[in-house]
Chains A and B, each alone.
Chain A
Amino acid sequence: MATSSQVVRPPAKGGRISLQRKEMLAGLAFISPWFIGFLLFTAGPMIVSLGLSLTQYDVLRPPKFIGLQNYTDLVNDSKIWLSLGNTFFYALLHVPLSIMVALGLAMLLHRVGKAAGFFRTVFYLPSITPAVAIGTLWLWLLNPRVGLVNRGLELLGIPGPGWTTDPAWIKPGIVLMSLWSVGGTVIIYLAALRNVPTELYEAAEIDGATGWKSFRHITIPMISGTIFFTLIVNVIGSLQIFTEVYTMFFGTMRGMTAAASAGLFYNIYLFRNAFEFFKMGYASAMAWVLFIIILILTLIQLRFSKRWVYTEES
């Protein structure tokens, strides 16, 4: 007889069923905060946002239904294409570079034994630095004239580019800044590398597979699940880059015209539309376009993952 709580229940054949029922109700009670929050802060707002994207709305006057006009306006808005181009440019540089740098650092850490702890801490420090402080700091590190980056390049005999002034170099500068924050990914990769059974390497070495071969045929497949996870997270994250760049080049600041277009990322343009120009309907349409883009890219990655991500079953 299952007596699951202080409550005395009628003894009957229903004892087991009622326990299941009880468990179900209790489970639902435990997850109810999430469910309420989901309706209030996710599902509800999604519907409202979709509705708003069909209106013209400046907060002061009630929304005016304009059908799909925001979406047709989007297509004809050169700044949308500019910001989309900027964002993809950034993502295409940032994602592979940050994964490679993080994997490289993690592999170095993996091979120095106990000393890894210290270095791992150092690499993680930028990741806990507030993004506003990162933006402020890198605005100066990247300064073409006095910045540390170009001073360093000078020592190597390389003339440094105009990281914050030359439209062609603004995004590479931002990518450089983003690489400073790979520490979180390094920790994830290091943990994954430590999880690879050492017997695999030993067996491979007896078979004559070392160096690049064992990296290619053991390390990569064994941590491919983790790489895939960081890839998805990184792609989604990089398409939404905002704070550091907004700090550096936007706000009430004046006079940084080159950056205002070369550094205009999608979410920055969206934010400005919503909260600086009060085009809430237009911004909502922008949000949905981004959502669809992220959805499609994630689905593509999931589909292709079957070709290269190793799972226990395969």
Chain B
Amino acid sequence: MSALSGESKQVVVSTVGASGHPANHLARRVNKTLQKAIFIALLIGFTILFIIPFLWLVSASLKVRADVFNNAWIPNPIAWENYVNVWKAAPVLDWLKNSVLVGVAAAISVTISCALIAFGFSYFRFPGRDRLFGLVLATMMLPGVVTMIPVYLVWQKIGLTNSHWPLWAGNLFGSAFYIFLLRQFYLTLPRELFEAARVDGAGYFQMWREIAIPLTRTALIVVFIFEFKASWTDLVKPLIYLQNTAMFTLPRGLKALLDQFGQGGEMQWEIVLAASVIVTLPMLIIFFLGQRYFIEGIATTGLKG
């Protein structure tokens, strides 16, 4: 009994395989079905383990303060007012707006710049290109903390700390990971496509915009979504650059709420938990809308790395 091949080929193997005995054949099929049932059962078990923290969070965020940690799955009474109180306790709407603006700016700028750069690294042939691309890849290994302080000092010199600029403007210059990802996609485009356009008199920029971009739309969406997620979930930059509460992004705001109302603070956990739901929910919605892009992006980068 193979423990490793998928079901479809299993059937083939069992008919051609070692023994053609019918009883043996039947036993294999039963065994196969049984095995699959066990796998599904295991997966359901893991699914429950993965989902429970979310359920706990949503449930606890809807409980009155005294009940928050009673571990009942259904809140009783249901405290919808927690979500109203968060809004009163902090400028959550501002945070939401800031997060969206920064996220969109970060995602758009990185998508456009990386599309240009990746095209430069895939279509054109020039001396030193591969070595430069190696440098792009090497920067991925550099820990962020090495450049964190000087970059902070630059923004400080320009007088733009406590603004949103430092959170996204670096993206105008591309990002190694996405350059790598987009280059993988560009390399799959047949060169003849571009040569033909060139014979017809198209300039390089035009070739990029009218051939490369439309043909790699999926990849561009992957980059956009990934960067939006990265920006949406980032705490480090907002922690470094933002001092004014009204300027906070959602994660920075949640951290402030946790410090104020949580452990060691005023112990109004229901507020903190409701805020956690507010930070998480938009990302989940985006995920369900753009699921295939997430999956494709991860599988591609992981495989071709």
Contact = CB atoms under 8 A, between A and B. Distances in A.
A24 B124 contact: yes
A203 to B, nearest CB: 10
Interface stretch (B49-57, B75-83, B86-94, B215-223): B49-57
A188 B299 contact: yes
Interface string A56-70: 000100000000000
Contacts of B39: 108, 111-112
| Interface of chain A: mostly helix, strand, loop or mixed | helix
Contacts, number: 329
A40 to B, nearest CB: 7
A188 B258 CA distance: 34
A124 to B, nearest CB: 7
Contact of B43 (A26, A59, A109, A274): A109
A218 B126 contact: no
B110 to A, nearest CB: 11
Contacts of A6: 201, 203
A219 B3 CA distance: 11
Interface in B157-190: 170, 172-174, 179
Contacts of A143: 69
A93 interface: no
A124 B225 CA distance: 15
Contact of A122 (B6, B50, B57, B263): B50
Interface string B26-50: 0000000001100110110011001
B147 A229 contact: no
Interface residues on B, range: 35 or more
A249 B136 CA distance: 35
Given A290-B145, A298-B141, A112 B201 contact: no
B47 A240 contact: no
Contact of B258 (A122, A136, A229, A270): A136
Contacts of B259: 251-253
B126 A27 contact: yes
A23 B126 contact: yes
B84 interface: no
B287 A128 contact: yes
Given A45-B146, A133-B276, A125 B287 contact: yes
B302 A192 contact: yes
Contacts of A151: 71
Contacts of A3: 199, 201
B280 interface: yes
Given A49-B146, A128-B284, A136 B136 contact: no
A34 B298 CA distance: 23
Interface string B228-244: 01001101100110000
A286 B146 CA distance: 9
Given A6-B203, A226-B303, A188 B298 contact: yes
A36 interface: yes
A37 B1 contact: no
Contacts of B287: 124-125, 128
B135 interface: yes
Given A211-B3, A246-B235, A290-B143, A130 B120 contact: no
A205 interface: yes
Interface string A102-133: 00010011111101000111111110111111
B17 interface: yes
A298 B137 CA distance: 13
B20 interface: no
A62 B284 CA distance: 46
B279 A33 contact: no
Given A5-B203, A34-B174, A252-B259, 6 more contacts: A5-B198, A105-B46, A112-B43, A128-B286, A132-B276, A133-B57
Interface of B: 1-7, 9, 12-13, 17-18, 35-36, 39-40, 42-43, 46-47, 50-54, 56-57, 60, 69, 71, 113, 116-117, 119-121, 123-127, 129, 132, 135-136, 139, 141-151, 153-154, 156, 170, 172-174, 179, 198-199, 201-204, 208, 229, 232-233, 235-236, 239-240, 250-251, 254-255, 258-259, 262-265, 269, 272-273, 276, 279-280, 283-284, 286-287, 291, 294-295, 298-303, 305
8 contacts: A23-B126, A30-B120, A37-B113, A42-B147, A125-B287, A131-B251, A180-B53, A188-B299
The 9 closest A-B pairs by CB, nearest first: A37-B173, A30-B120, A27-B124, A188-B302, A191-B299, A45-B150, A31-B120, A24-B126, A45-B147
